[in-house]
Structure 1
């Protein structure tokens, strides 16, 4: 082991655990956003079908479902990387030879930025819906409004 005082090693391990919890929160957020994006895309498609009575064309490669699934998978990979990094730092603290690893930070940042850029078309895309008031189908509208 090393000659670092016990209280200093405890603080280092606690900091390592807090960092792991940050990885965990990040992965949960990515999974949650992925699920929300995928489901919201399905909701918008169903709403479009209800209002226009036409099935919209869907790009098989660039869809909200694919973006959502990518975020969920990336969230799962993030927690795996966080767990691996936690264990790696744990043993480095115990041996007294801690080395920062910036490569993981760059990889995570790049993937989140790429997935963020892929979500921009969904923010800018406006589907042309007919300009008609909402009405309940198959119900006659009364001319005598009291």
Structure 2
């Protein structure tokens, strides 16, 4: 007589992986909301400080708005990718033959985007400092 009941150790491991995936998604939501909040807050603060000053493509307010939008966009991208990754992980956990498959880290991607934004900000400020 063959035993068709699931292996309880495997099921407990899947349960732990499911809970870990939930925690990871919540951490990405928190990080994404922080990025969106920072971008929004930066734009609003500069907008209030420079109230009444015309916004042109060379003005500081324009550059801050662009960088704020990039930061907000990074937050939106992060939350979308984290949700997509979470759904894929849940689908993989539901399969009876769950195997680990290496994939690109979302943290590395988001940190790369933030580094690009930071370097852009640095170069823009440096260029303006040299011009003035």
Q: Which runs of 5+ in 2 are unaligned?
A: 1-5
Partner of 2:35: 30
1:1-146 aligned at under 5 Å gives the runs: 3=7, 5-46=10-51, 59=58, 63-95=63-95, 96-120=98-122
Question: 1:15-67 deviations in whole A, cap 9, x for unaligned?
Answer: 01001111101110110010011112212323xx6xxxx75865269611111
- CA-based RMSD: 2.9
Q: Which runs of 5+ in 1 are unaligned?
A: 127-146
The normalised TM-score by structure 1 is: 0.66
Task: Using the TM superposition, give the Cα deviation of residue 11 of structure 1 relative to its aligned residue in structure 2, in angstroms.
Answer: 0.9
Secondary structure of the 1:63 match is: helix
CA gap of 1:16–1:56, structure 2 versus 1, over 3 A, is closer
- Larger radius of gyration, structure 1 or 2? 1
Number of aligned positions between the proteins? 118
4+ runs deviating over 6 angstroms: none
Task: Using the TM superposition, give the Cα deviation of residue 104 of structure 1 relative to its aligned residue in structure 2, in angstroms.
Answer: 3.2
Say which structure is richer in helix.
Answer: 2
